[in-house]
């Protein structure tokens, strides 16, 4: 009996070993991840990619953007915003990060769309303009810091919190949106007032509905790059494209939160920022507090990718930091806290992050941040397995609920109906994720993929926390989308009627 047991045990062990060995062999013969990266640590962002760029090239491009935009800014020495300090480098820096980075000096949304309706020169010191001006919480509170966290929700869809397992809703995530000098100066020099910008965006949306193009010039309609370098006489919104040595429009969205006693502050990029609170007697006050960066979107328009290249980064701890979101209905939180989700990071994307981390100095703060994914050439639903793009792309702490993380609809009011949401090379496409969501603003609002150039809550009356007794941000977008769809149907019907006439 004992002998039989021993033989059986040996057989079982051999079987298990064989299974493990087979698993190991199966894993070993799996196609390896291509890690042959060429990622430049340069003070200037890359300006374009070949039209057939794959995941490796897109990951390289995204990291080169990230490294350039997190380069040390020269503002404190020459008062130039969106300009790098050429004497600095990641290799030579003794600090974990500079005292001011390039992207932080981009223009805030309330500078691009000031309530005063008077845009200032780009290089002016930070100057935030609201209809209901907030008051300082203390006499020493500064209103000229570069990071102005005036958004406290995800486009009115949900509120986000950190370490909800320990602190519930004590540590809320706040957001800010900015544009680079190229985009800012384009608006300043062409459509610097609300009225002129609205006229241009309306004309652009009307042209898209009529001609499947930003403006009705036959040569540009047939041109793949017809949304770059549109003539000013066309009176349309056509943001500048990057190419060669020219940097075109870049927008960023950053997510921040205060650190808890459980967090290791040496693992986070932190800044003293402007944040807001409701005043006891009404109105809004601003504070200066230290917040940590946990998410960063970078989108750039290029000649070969006029539907923008979308890249998103996040802190490596966001998933383990017990993030939770509360859905918003009419601006009020409903239901309990939910756990965010996003699609898995692809192996080649993670390999690019590992490569950059290996090249950064040991003390660099950016070894704690990773690339989540990149979108470039839009593809039509249901091509969700396209190998050259992430059909769905979201950030764990920027698009946290299913409305945004798996956006694939024709409008903000219909986020999952698979209808066309953007115009690309003369064709309407039903794209997913960030690109599809931004595409709605292009197709329906005529803003060339920018949420910052529409009229929904802009110019900005007050930081988000002051939006009491007003229609919620999401509801405003839904209403605007419905009006746009009605206008588009009217235009299409008029065209059909005209074509039907003998």
What's the pLDDT at 239?
A: 98
Mean of the pLDDT values across residues 354-359?
A: 96
* Nearest-5° Cα angle at 394, 228 to 49: 35
Produce one character per residue of 255-294: b if its CB has 16 or more CB atoms within 10 Å, e if not.
Answer: bbbbbeeebeeebbbbbebbbbeeeeeeebbbebbebbbb
Q: Which carries the bigger pLDDT value, residue 101 or residue 386?
A: 101
What's the pLDDT at 480?
A: 87
Q: How far apart are CA 447 and CA 451, in angstroms?
A: 7
Query: Rounded to the nearest 5°, which phi and psi values hold at 23?
Result: -65, -40
Percent of the chain with pLDDT over 90: 77
pLDDT for 307-331, tens place per residue?
A: 999 999 999 999 999 999 999 988 8
- Relative to beta strand 250-257, strand 174-179 is antiparallel
Q: How far apart are CA 275 and CA 421, in angstroms?
A: 34
pLDDT for 332-342, tens place per residue?
A: 899 899 999 89
pLDDT for 188-240, tens place per residue?
A: 999 999 999 999 999 999 999 999 999 987 555 555 557 998 999 999 999 99
Q: How far apart are CA 313 and CA 315, in angstroms?
A: 7
Give strand ranges (E) for 81-227. 107-108, 135-136, 158-161, 174-179
Identify whether the C-beta of residue 488 lies closer than 8 Å to the C-beta of residue 447: no
- pLDDT at 362 > cutoff 70: yes
Mean of the pLDDT values across residues 73-82?
A: 98
- pLDDT at 488 > cutoff 80: yes
- pLDDT at 30 > cutoff 60: no
How many CB atoms are closer than 10 A to CB 33?
15
Q: How far apart are CA 348 and CA 62, in angstroms?
A: 13
Mean of the pLDDT values across residues 125-145?
A: 97
- Please give the mean pLDDT across all residues of the chain: 90
What's the pLDDT at 28?
A: 30
Which range among 118-122, 180-184, 382-386, 454-458 shows the weakest confidence by mean pLDDT?
382-386
- pLDDT at 397 > cutoff 50: yes
What's the pLDDT at 25?
A: 28
What's the pLDDT at 225?
A: 58
What's the pLDDT at 18?
A: 32
Percent of the chain with pLDDT over 70: 90
Q: Is the dihedral angle over the CA atoms 123, 154, 484, 459 positive or is it negative?
A: negative
Give the DSSP letter of residue 232.
G
What's the pLDDT at 290?
A: 98
- pLDDT at 5 > cutoff 50: no
Mean of the pLDDT values across residues 443-459?
A: 96
- pLDDT at 364 > cutoff 50: yes
- pLDDT at 148 > cutoff 80: yes
What's the pLDDT at 224?
A: 57
What's the pLDDT at 386?
A: 66
pLDDT for 157-184, tens place per residue?
A: 999 999 999 999 999 999 999 999 999 9
- pLDDT at 8 > cutoff 50: no
- pLDDT at 467 > cutoff 60: yes
Identify whether the C-beta of residue 419 lies closer than 8 Å to the C-beta of residue 410: yes
Mean of the pLDDT values across residues 60-84?
A: 98
Mean of the pLDDT values across residues 348-355?
A: 96
- pLDDT at 16 > cutoff 80: no
- pLDDT at 461 > cutoff 90: yes
What's the pLDDT at 15?
A: 32
Q: How far apart are CA 478 and CA 444, in angstroms?
A: 11
Mean of the pLDDT values across residues 382-402?
A: 85
What's the pLDDT at 330?
A: 82
End-to-end Cα spacing for the chain: 99
When pLDDT is cut at 50, 70 and 90, the band that residue 470 belongs to is low
Identify whether the C-beta of residue 290 lies closer than 8 Å to the C-beta of residue 270: yes
Give strand ranges (E) for 157-218. 158-161, 174-179
Asked if residue 185 has a cis previous peptide bond (ω within 30° of 0), the answer is no
Identify whether the C-beta of residue 183 lies closer than 8 Å to the C-beta of residue 250: yes
Whole-prediction pTM value?
0.91
Identify whether the C-beta of residue 421 lies closer than 8 Å to the C-beta of residue 436: yes
Task: Report the helix count and the strand count for the chain, using DSSP H and E.
Answer: 12, 13
Q: Position of tokens 């540590």?
A: 171
Identify whether the C-beta of residue 446 lies closer than 8 Å to the C-beta of residue 202: yes
């Amino acid at each position: 009996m004992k002998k039989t047991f021993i033989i059986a045990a040996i057989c079982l062990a051999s079987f298990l070993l064989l299974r493990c060995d087979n698993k190991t062999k199966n894993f070993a013969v799996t196609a390896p991840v291509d890690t042959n990266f060429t990622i430049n640590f340069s003070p200037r962002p890359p300006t374009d990619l070949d039209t057939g760029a794959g995941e490796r090239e897109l990951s390289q491009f995204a990291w080169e953007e990230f490294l350039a935009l997190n380069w040390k800014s020269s503002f404190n020495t020459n008062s130039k915003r969106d300009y790098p300090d050429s004497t600095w480098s990641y290799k030579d820096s003794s600090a974990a990060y500079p005292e001011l980075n390039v992207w932080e000096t981009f223009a805030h949304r309330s500078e691009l769309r000031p309530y005063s309706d008077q845009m200032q020169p780009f290089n002016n010191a930070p100057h935030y303009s609201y209809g209901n001006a907030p008051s300082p919480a203390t006499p020493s509170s500064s209103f000229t810091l570069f990071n102005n966290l005036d958004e406290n929700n995800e486009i009115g869809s949900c509120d986000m919190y950190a370490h909800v397992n320990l602190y519930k809703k004590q540590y809320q995530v706040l957001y800010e949106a900015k544009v680079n000098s190229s985009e800012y100066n384009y608006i300043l020099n062409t459509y610097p007032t609300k009225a002129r910008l609205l006229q241009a965006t309306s004309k652009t949306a009307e042209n898209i509905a009529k001609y499947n193009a930003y403006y009705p010039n036959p040569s540009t309609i047939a041109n793949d790059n017809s949304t770059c370098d549109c003539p000013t006489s066309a009176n349309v919104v056509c943001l500048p494209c990057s190419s060669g040595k020219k940097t075109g429009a870049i927008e960023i969205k950053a997510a921040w939160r205060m650190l808890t006693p459980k967090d290791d502050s040496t693992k986070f990029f932190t800044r003293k920022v402007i944040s807001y609170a409701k005043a006891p007697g009404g109105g809004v006050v601003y504070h200066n507090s230290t917040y940590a960066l946990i998410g960063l979107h970078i989108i750039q328009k290029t000649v070969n990718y006029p539907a923008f290249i979308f890249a998103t980064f996040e802190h490596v701890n966001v998933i383990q930091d017990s993030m939770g979101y509360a859905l918003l209905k009419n601006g009020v939180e409903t239901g309990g806290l939910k756990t965010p989700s996003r699609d898995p990071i692809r192996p080649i994307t993670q390999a690019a992050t590992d490569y950059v981390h290996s090249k950064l100095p040991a003390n660099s703060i950016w070894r704690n941040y990773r690339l989540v994914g990149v979108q470039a050439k839009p593809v039509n639903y249901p091509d969700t397995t396209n190998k050259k793009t992430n059909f769905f792309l979201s950030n764990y702490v920027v698009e946290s609920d299913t409305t945004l993380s798996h956006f694939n609809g024709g409008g903000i009011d219909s986020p999952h109906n698979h209808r066309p949401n953007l115009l690309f090379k003369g064709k309407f496409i039903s794209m997913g994720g960030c690109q599809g969501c931004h595409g709605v603003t292009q197709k329906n609002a005529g803003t060339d993929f920018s949420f910052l150039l529409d009229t929904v809550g802009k110019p900005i009356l007050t930081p988000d926390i002051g939006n009491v007794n007003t229609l919620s941000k999401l509801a405003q977008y839904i209403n605007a989308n419905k009006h746009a769809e009605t206008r588009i149907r009217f235009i299409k019907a008029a065209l059909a009627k005209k074509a039907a006439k003998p």
